[in-house]
């Protein structure tokens, strides 16, 4: 079914900030390829349920291409899931929980999800793709649901680490745009669950061992002052972090990464940041003429330097 063109509200920090016209939406929910199964995060109902605005839908954007290719997003996610992508060959024991971006309104499931999982697999890393709840009211604490889903997913991964051949001390997070903010949120909110524990998985630590935030948003909140979002309370316990952003990013300017970088440095957290002149926003790992799209090699080298590979 072809839906009419629509424009997401201007104030939303949508990962691609495009006019989604010409996309093809399907009524059924998003499904992973290759027979992979979605694992429900919550045994019963999720805490703080999002009122249904309609069924989960999948759209393919064909008129706003990224690196010459269409991309897929999912909307109205009310039942969060995760999908495990084990490496097919060498297994390093490392794992990465992946957060697609989308302004906490949609999730760019291939551009910032499945394609990233495939790359991680090629490096011997288990990838876990998180389909967290959207839309919601924004970043934590305005809405707790995305962070709840993330805390729950981290506990489940550690609870099943032996089954999935994962080293429980080598589990990181990687996210884009709003997903980059979610990286910072779980990196600073792991001492206590923000929901009532439901089973033994919630007794596991939800602290990442490392974190990668790519063109993150929701961190620089005052356009007149260089101030970090107080809802991201960086401490010396925040995990080693990798940051990447472009100076010409019109959706989330580099101040988001810069203000977080400064807070990490002040707290004594190992941090590596790469700031490029050009690249824009929401490029995922699709190649372009801009050097910033070489970031996967930088992340791999960084993971080696901190002992995760």
**Rounded Cα–Cα distance for residues 4 and 305 (Å):** 49
**Rounded Cα–Cα distance for residues 42 and 198 (Å):** 8
Write the pLDDT tens digit of every residue in 171-210.
999 999 999 999 999 999 999 999 999 999 999 999 999 9
The token pair that represents 22 in the structure block: 């010409």
51: buried, middle or exposed (CB in 10 Å: 19+, 13-18, 0-12)? exposed
Residue 168 domain flag: yes
**Rounded Cα–Cα distance for residues 283 and 281 (Å):** 6
* Rg over CA atoms, the chain: 18
CATH code at 141? 3.40.50.1820
State the pLDDT at residue 223.
80
Q: Which domain holds residue 248?
A: 6-305
Report the SS3 class of residue 150: helix
Residue 1 domain flag: no
Residue 273 domain flag: yes
Q: How confident is the model at residue 4 (pLDDT cuts 50, 70, 90)?
A: very low
**Residue indicated by tokens 């604490």:** 141
pLDDT at 1 over 80: no
Which of 92-96, 190-194, 219-223, 268-272 shows the lowest per-residue confidence on average (mean pLDDT)?
219-223
Write the pLDDT tens digit of every residue in 44-70.
999 999 887 889 999 999 988 999 999
Residue 163 domain flag: yes
pTM of the model: 0.91
Count how many domains the chain has.
1
């Amino acid at each position: 079914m072809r839906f009419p063109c629509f424009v997401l509200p201007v104030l939303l920090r949508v990962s691609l900030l495009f006019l989604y016209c010409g996309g093809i939406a399907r009524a059924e929910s998003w499904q992973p390829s290759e027979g992979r199964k979605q694992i429900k995060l919550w045994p019963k109902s999720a805490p703080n349920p999002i009122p249904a605005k309609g069924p989960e839908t999948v759209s393919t954007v064909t008129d706003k291409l990224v690196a010459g290719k269409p991309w897929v997003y999912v909307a109205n996610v009310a039942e969060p899931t995760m999908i495990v992508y084990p490496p097919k060959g060498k297994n390093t024991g490392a794992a990465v929980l992946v957060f697609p971006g989308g302004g906490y309104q949609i999730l760019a499931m291939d551009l910032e999800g499945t394609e990233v999982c495939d790359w991680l697999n090629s490096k011997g890393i288990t990838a876990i793709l998180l389909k967290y709840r959207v839309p919601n009211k924004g970043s934590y604490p305005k809405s707790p649901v995305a962070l709840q889903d993330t805390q729950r997913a981290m506990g489940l991964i550690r609870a099943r680490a032996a089954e999935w051949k994962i080293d429980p001390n080598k589990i990181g997070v990687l996210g884009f745009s709003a997903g980059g903010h979610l990286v910072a949120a779980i990196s600073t909110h792991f001492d206590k669950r923000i929901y009532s524990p439901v089973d033994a998985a919630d007794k596991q630590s939800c602290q990442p061992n490392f974190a990668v935030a790519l063109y993150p948003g929701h961190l620089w909140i005052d356009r007149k002052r260089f101030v970090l979002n107080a809802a991201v309370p960086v401490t010396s316990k925040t995990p080693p972090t990798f940051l990447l952003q472009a100076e010409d990013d019109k959706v989330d300017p580099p101040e988001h990464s810069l203000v977080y970088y400064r807070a990490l440095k002040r707290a004594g957290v190992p941090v590596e940041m790469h700031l490029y002149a050009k690249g824009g926003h929401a490029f995922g790992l699709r190649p372009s003429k801009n050097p910033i799209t070489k970031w996967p090699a930088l992340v791999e080298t960084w993971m080696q330097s901190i002992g995760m590979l």
